[in-house]
Structure 1
Amino acid sequence: MFSAKGRYALMVATAIAAIGCLFYKENQLAAFLGLMLLLLIWSHFKQSSVLLASKHFKNGDYQATEDALDEVPDPERLAKNRRGYYEFMRANIALHREEYEEAEYHFQLASRFPLGGKTDKVFVMIHLANLALRKKDKVRILAYLERAKEMVSTPRAKEIINRIEKEANSL
């Protein structure tokens, strides 16, 4: 759970240590440090700062969350389990800023990747239904609600789905 700067510093320190080991003819230790450097580089692209961002997101610090997400060099290279969270947090930040088009885009991407569990996926569908409700697009509202109903597991989610469905039927 490092920021990008922390990972870069760790990469430099590991590379220097590996070079030092080569200088002192500690080839096995240098090889081990080389592998550690490769692991750090791999984790930089596959894991990035998403875990750090989720920590800030859970604390409600949207600015720190966005700063951590901005450190991700290429979201498309993230591991599938990280990409879903990345898109989910981006969507919630956009929703918080009332940028509804961007929020819908990121929620749609988040719906395609695995999230923590069914509950998270249900709330992605609920958010998408809410955004479709803003546009008064009854077909999309009902489609999102159907998917949410298939996965619903909490009474709170059922209540929200029923409330959105009533509003959709009154359109």
Structure 2
Amino acid sequence: MPEPGSCQGRDLVQVGTVTGVFGLKGWVKVFSYTDPVESIVDYQPWLIKRGERQQLAEVAQARCQSKKIQVRMRGYETRDQAEGLVGMEIWVERRLFSALDEDEYYWFELKGLAVVNELNERLGTMDSVLETGANDVLVVVPDPTSIDQQERLIPYVQSEVVNKVDLKSGLIRVNWPRDY
């Protein structure tokens, strides 16, 4: 049986990182991976960890200033206490996320999937997403079985470029020539 505050046996998603301290009363700066950034505080409790060190944390107060999040966690009342949190990753249970419609995905679900084109050529592995304004762009990095060692930026435009996402097979099928 997993220990309380343990990652073992849980389906966890990293949603942010503690990047610094703010003020003297235990506040920390948080870099949020959520969109919108302030929604990170809606997912509770947090499991914060660095290496083997991990613990459950509860947000006591939060504020957003210029798309930056500042948080005070329960039990952290001083700057010295808060400094121990800097660099810790913030994880939450996957079950806290809303269910999506068919053909909608959270970006973290696509990370690590193989990307193949219509000729069944493996272009690489989906690594991350760039938000460009017009549409999101998949960053596809080479892997040991890809056709070459080229990093590719592939627009995430459903039906036109991204033909199919199959989470069970671990595959994203794209309409994208190898020489783009």
TM-score by shorter chain over 0.5 = no
Which structure has the greater CA radius of gyration?
A: 1
Higher relative contact order (CA 8 A, sep 6+): 2
TM-score, normalised with respect to structure 2: 0.22
Between structures 1 and 2, the one with greater strand share = 2
Between structures 1 and 2, the one with greater helix share = 1
